[in-house]
Amino acid sequence: MIRAGLDVVRLNFSHGTADDHRQRAEMVRECARQAGREVAIMADLQGPKIRVGKFENGKTMLEPGQPFILDAECELGNDERVGPDYKDLPRD
């Protein structure tokens, strides 16, 4: 792939150990050296997983065109709104 023009390799840090990533990066560097090319390594770091919070009745069913609000101040969702389960979102 490097010989065909690849110039960036993405390492997904959500999977594997630090040693796995170190070995993969070293392999990329060695292959790039052998091909006489420079190849960047992009570290894909996982951010917070933000999901909707809980609902009064356990769930809700939305209908096409129905207004629905994602509301950071909402503690328990209903058919009109729901808050996130990630509480460190900025609020204003």
Segment 9-54, tens digit of pLDDT: 999 998 899 999 999 999 999 999 999 999 999 999 988 888 999 9
What is the average pLDDT across 51-67? 93
pLDDT of residue 25: 97
For residue 74, the tally of other CB atoms under 10 A from its CB is 16
pLDDT above 80 for 87: no
Cα(34)–Cα(43) distance, integer angstroms: 22
- Between 16-20, 64-68, 83-87, the lowest mean confidence (pLDDT) is in 83-87
Q: Is the overall model pTM greater than 0.85, yes or no?
A: no
**pLDDT-derived band of residue 91, with 50, 70 and 90 as boundaries?**
low
Q: Any bridge partners for residue 77, and if so which?
A: 55
Cα(7)–Cα(3) distance, integer angstroms: 9
Please answer whether residues 2 and 36 qualify as being in contact, where contact means their C-beta atoms are separated by less than 8 angstroms.
no
List the alpha helices (DSSP H) in the chain: 18-35
